[in-house]
Amino acid sequence: MKAQLITSLGEIRPDGSPLELKEVPRSCPTNGQVRLKIIACGVCHTELDEIEGRTSPPELPVIPGHQVVGTIEKFGPGIDSALQKQLKNQPVGVGWIYSACGQCRFCQEGRENLCPDFTATGRDRDGGYAEYMLVPVNYAIPLPPDLDPVQASPLLCAGSIGYRSLMLALKPNRGNPKRRLDKNKPLYSDSSRSSNSNINRKNNSNNHCNNHCNTNGNKNSTNYNNNNNNNRNNKNPKTSSPGQQSKQNSTPNDNACSGIEHSNQQEEPFIPAGQQDKHPISNISSTTGTCQLNEIPPLETLGLTGFGASGHLVLQLVKAFHPSTRVYVFARRQSTRDFAFSLGADWAGPTSARAPEPCQSIIDTTPAWLPVREALANLAPGGRLVINAIRKEAGDKDALQDLNYARHLWLEKEIKSVANVTRQDIRGILNAASKINLQPTLTEYSLEEAGQALKDIKFSRGRGAKVLKISTNNK
């Protein structure tokens, strides 16, 4: 089969090396494994982190890729015939989680993402930059039938890690909203910000620019300030963006809470991974878990710093499930900010700008440090910064030298990183995507063009997600 392999570590070069396209033997599944015929594999910044040595594969060569959609075409031993019949040719997704031990404290608590024996698809085991791959049957998540396999592939990481980040962002220290007498009164009383924000939101309401843009805004920009609304007053709505369609076609928030903290809020019952893995071949039929987004009270304000593959999906999730939440996007490039407006952002500005009002939570999806410092300055008291990155690049680490305790950390601000994903995160995003007809904005590449796709991520070219289309969904 054809596969792209990481053959050595180092900065990715113009010819795409050290990624190399090679012909390699197709392996047979062992006990409890299945072999997938791969339809598509999303391309993620983490592959750059692997190639450039920030999260190195333990052995080389390795086939990268952890946003895999394929059909099960061969079963290993130990998988009973009824299950085989059920799953034969079933489109499934494989995310960053390739396996976890199922026995440790974290696995037992439903936090298999923190398992010390966690193995990652495409780093610790061969992944999806190939025509075929092996995976334990319990880690191949069946797709809801209405999801297009190519469109679904970015959901396996950009979507699932975005979903996990959003779930964490939804749980900052918000006090007890039941005690707030006037729910129409802003939570924060900075009058200049409040008045600005009202104006900005009004001006932004019809703004749907359709310029092309780049991903991962993360640097200072000098040609913008909070009062420069020229681009945001553009009355040229583009109604054909996926985000707009999904908003118009669905009302997933019908059962959502309206800002009231429910002390008896129940999370979806979780089957401990350990119990699943003690019977490793029998649980795949529990296909999709429920999306939990409509069970958690919405935030009033959410910031997104960086707006690439993950950020553009999170914005659409929030606008569909929690339409009352005001979403503020921080991005380095104007074209990226225009993209954010086109998907419904209430405001967008450069990384170092101040949002119209402080944010209860901010999700950082950049590989840089300046956005961390600036996001802390944009947080409300008691707010939470969720850092969604497996590693940060070192280029602007000096930005942390200017971290000021009073400005950036005081008043119970907190920082929480996101590590890996659980299968529940993957099921959650697939279920949410099906429910709201979430359609990632994506650029397709061939398997041969994987190096180009990675370079485009590195240099922030193109918008949304990048996907290798490897085969058609023919049985």
Q: Which of 4, 67, 75 is nearest to 36 (CA)?
A: 75
Smallest gap from Cβ 393 to Zn ion, in A, equals 15
The single-letter DSSP state of residue 16 is -
Structure-block tokens of residue 318: 């929030």
* One residue of 6, 115, 170, 304 binding Zn ion per CB under 5 A: 115
**Pattern 260-299, Zn ion, x by CB under 5 A:** ----------------------------------------
Is position 157 an interface residue for Zn ion (rule: CB under 5 A)? yes
Neighbours of 110 (CB within 10 A): 18
**Quick one: CA dihedral 42, 44, 46, 47, positive or negative?**
positive
**Vertex 44: Cα angle to 288 and 433 (nearest 5):** 30
Q: For 184, phi and psi rounded to 5 degrees? A: -85, -10
Shortest Cβ distance from residue 240 to Zn ion (Å)?
28
Smallest gap from residue 274 Cβ to Zn ion (A): 8
Amino acid (one-letter) located at 156: L
Q: Which residue has the tokens 């907190």?
A: 414
Q: How many helices (H) and strands (E) does the chain have?
A: 13, 17
CB of 104 to Zn ion, least distance (A): 3
Instruction: Report the nearest approach of Zn ion to the CB of residue 107 (Å).
Output: 3
Burial 76-109 (b: 16+ CB within 10 A, else e): beebeeebeeebeebbbbbbbbbbbbbebebbbe
Q: How far is the CB of 46 from Zn ion (least distance, A)?
A: 4
Decide if 354 contacts 226 (C-beta within 8 A).
Answer: yes
- Least separation in angstroms between residue 41's CB and Zn ion is 11
Contact 311, 337 (CB under 8 A): no
* Helices 242-249, 309-321: inter-axial angle, 10-degree rounding: 20
Minimal distance in Å, beta carbon 109 to Zn ion?
10
Is 115 or 355 the residue whose CB approaches Zn ion more closely?
115
The binder of Zn ion chosen from 3, 51, 72, 104 (CB under 5 A) = 104
CA distance linking residue 288 with residue 183, whole number of Å: 36
From residue 16 to residue 45, what is the string marking binding to Zn ion with x (rule CB under 5 A)? ----------------------------x-
Q: What residues between 308 and 337 interact with Zn ion by CB under 5 A?
A: none
- Any residues with CB less than 8 A from the CB of 250 and at least 6 apart, and which? 320, 435, 436, 437
Q: Which is nearer to Zn ion, 40 or 359 (CB)?
A: 40
Residues in the chain: 475
User: Binding Zn ion by CB under 5 A: which of 4, 33, 46, 420?
Assistant: 46
Choose the binding region for Zn ion from 152-160, 280-288, 336-344, 357-365 (rule: CB under 5 A): 152-160
Residue 50 vs 346, nearer CB to Zn ion? 50
The correct pick among 21, 24, 83, 101 for binding Zn ion (CB under 5 A) is: 101
Applying CB under 5 A, which part among 29-37, 114-122, 139-147, 213-221 lies near Zn ion? 114-122
Nearer to Zn ion, 154 or 349 (CB): 154
- Helix, strand, coil % in the chain, rounded to nearest 5: 30, 20, 50
CB of 61 to Zn ion, least distance (A): 20
The interface region with Zn ion, picked from 105-113, 243-251, 261-269, 446-454 by CB under 5 A, is 105-113
- In the complex with Zn ion, the residue whose CB is nearer, 46 or 207, is 46
Binding segment for Zn ion (CB under 5 A), chosen from 18-26, 107-115, 228-236, 405-413, is: 107-115
Among the candidate windows 103-111, 177-185, 322-330, 451-459, which touches Zn ion by CB under 5 A? 103-111
Among 69, 100, 137, 372, binds Zn ion (CB under 5 A): 100
CB atoms within 10 A of CB 262: 11
- E strands, 238-378, are 301-305, 326-330, 347-349, 359-364
Q: Which of residues 428-467 bind Zn ion (CB under 5 A)?
A: none
Nearest to 291 by CA among 430, 138, 96: 430
| CA–CA separation, 344 and 40 (whole Å) | 28
* Of residues 97 and 100, the one with the C-beta less far from Zn ion: 100
In the complex, what is the shortest distance from the CB of residue 329 to Zn ion, in angstroms, rounded to a whole number? 20
Structure tokens at 26: 């197709």
Where do contacts with Zn ion occur on this chain (CB under 5 A)? 44, 46, 100-101, 104, 107, 115, 157
